[in-house]
Amino acid sequence: MSSLLYVLNGPNLNLLGKRQPEIYGRETLADVEAECRREAKAHGLDLRFHQSNREYDLIDWIHEARETACGIVINPAAFTHTSVAILDALNACDFPVIEVHISNIHKREAFRHHSYVSLRADGVIAGCGTQGYTLAIARIARLVRAGNG
Ligand code: DQA
């Protein structure tokens, strides 16, 4: 059984720490990656951590994960609210998928309340700041251990 976990990040998350810190906080994506690596290691999981501003990169990584991984943590960022293509790619995967949003999308503009990705996600974490990523990794680790990986 694979012990490889993918953590995927969508558009503008490369600006984490600089962009709207009042909403997304001051931690950078490098800080988040370091925390994810610590959490994954604690659960005996290997990690691939990626960010892209391009939808096709995210889709290609989901296809790659489909062949090799035990789960995906994904913050699709703005593609959450627009991308049937990312939903379709995730629907082709058999392992646990947890959707993460740093902010509480339900407390924000109405256009952020709908998520295509939530139609596939096994769990959704929103509004827990960047801690949401490590919570999601712990959840995937549990599901994989329980045999749902
Ligand atoms: C986000 C929420 C999205 O609505 C937004 O487009 C983002 C980040 C979050 O992590 O809170 O870029 O996914």
- Of residues 31, 5, 6, 9, the one with CA closest to residue 80: 9
Per residue in 42-84, pLDDT (tens digit) is 999 999 999 999 999 999 999 999 999 999 999 999 999 999 9
- What CA–CA distance (Å, rounded) separates 24 from 14? 12
How remote is the CA of residue 147 from the centroid of ligand 1, in Å? 30
For residue 62, the tally of other CB atoms under 10 A from its CB is: 23
pTM of the complete model: 0.97
Q: Does domain 4-145 have CATH number 3.40.50.9100?
A: yes
| pLDDT at residue number 1 | 77
- As to burial, measured by CB atoms within 10 angstroms (0-12 exposed, 13-18 middle, 19+ buried), residue 54 is exposed
Q: What residue segments make up the domains of the chain, in order of their start?
A: 4-145
Say if residues 87 and 118 touch (Cβ distance below 8 Å). Answer: no
**Known active-site residue 101:** yes
User: Closest ligand 1 atom, CA of 77?
Assistant: 13
